[in-house]
Amino acid sequence: MDYIYLILGIILLLFAGNQLVKSGSSIAEYFKIPPFIVGVTVVSLGTSAPELFVSLNAALANSPDIAIGNIVGSNIANIGLVLALTAIVISIPVKKSTIRFDYPVLLIASILFAVFMGDLLITRIEGAIMIFLMLVYLFLIIKMNHKKKSEKQTIIVEEKTSGTLQKSPWISVLLILISCGGLLLGSNILVEGAGNIAKNLGVSERIISITVIAFGTSIPELATSIIAAFKKQIDIGLGNIIGSNIFNILVISGISSVVTPLSVNPSTMNFDIYFLLGFVVLTGLFFLPFRKAQITRWKGFVYLFAYFGYYIVLFYN
């Protein structure tokens, strides 16, 4: 039964997150909100909503290993699996703005996350700092792009809203509330099922969260990026993944630890976090040479090899 809960939880999270994006985009269209603003808010929130609700629910349920493991595992999966498969389908050119601004933010956020985990506790103050940094990041993005068309995830917004009838804003608001309810219910079911499976198999919640749960909550990013790659909408992939990873660290861990301080599993601090930082640093190295940076097919295979290598070491460690 717990496995059914696990699958149902993931399905409910995916469906509710997708509906949240559609309804939010519909409201934005109705009020003529610029697509870029929708991209960095509604779409980012929609694709990361499963991680947010799972980690927040786990924190409230006194399961910090699931809350933190979900964040770390999702970020590793986003780079080692999602970006890898996207690059294998089609080489991804890297924009200068990504190298100069977005990537440094991801690197700093990842290092800060590791530093905050150093004493095996992420406090409310540290959580508040991360939320504040995310607000600064969003402010700078909006300020730098207020005169430009959307460069990140605009195509996603258009794809999810094109070909559909524009809903009444009240219907969209109602669907957003229903979607949030679905996300809450799905995260409840997923956390409960994963926790029970871990106990029955004698596996730690950290292992379950960093593998099964992290993969399940990363499916929106995987689906979005792979579809975009096959359609050769290559501007989406890297920006979507880096933005999602920044959101996961600064917002999800920030909100979760503000609600309740998160204790950190020593194995996460002494093992998992180094793989996360390794994937982030490797991405920076793959940007060389900066003038014609690309995430090519062979780099995608390197990511994939490192990703499965992490899992092998994880289970035999």
Reported as a single tens digit per residue, the pLDDT across 196-213 is: 777 787 778 888 888 878
> What is the percent of the chain with per-residue pLDDT over 70, rounded to a whole number?
77
User: Helix, strand, coil % (nearest 5) of the chain?
Assistant: 80, 5, 15
Q: Which H/E stretch holds residue 266? A: helix 266-267
What is the rounded distance in angstroms from the CA atom of residue 221 to the CA atom of residue 44?
10
In this predicted structure, what is the pLDDT of residue 178?
83
In this predicted structure, what is the pLDDT of residue 28?
66
Does the pLDDT of residue 17 top 70, yes or no? Answer: no
In this predicted structure, what is the pLDDT of residue 172?
78
The verdict on pTM exceeding 0.95 is no
In this predicted structure, what is the pLDDT of residue 98?
82
Phi-psi category of residue 70: left, alpha or beta, with phi > 0 → left and psi -120 to 50 → alpha: alpha
Give Cα 235 distance to the centre of its chain: 18
Domains of the chain: residue spans and CATH: 2-316 (1.20.1420.30)
Reported as a single tens digit per residue, the pLDDT across 285-312 is: 998 877 788 899 999 999 999 999 999 9
Does the pLDDT of residue 259 top 80, yes or no? Answer: yes
Nearest in space to 57 (alpha carbons), one of 196, 183, 179, 200: 183
Burial 112-143 (b: 16+ CB within 10 A, else e): bbbebbeeeebeeebbebbbebbeebbeebee
In this predicted structure, what is the pLDDT of residue 160?
46
In this predicted structure, what is the pLDDT of residue 202?
78
Reported as a single tens digit per residue, the pLDDT across 100-158 is: 888 999 999 999 999 999 999 999 999 999 999 999 998 888 787 665 554 444 444 44
pLDDT band for position 167 (50/70/90)? Answer: low
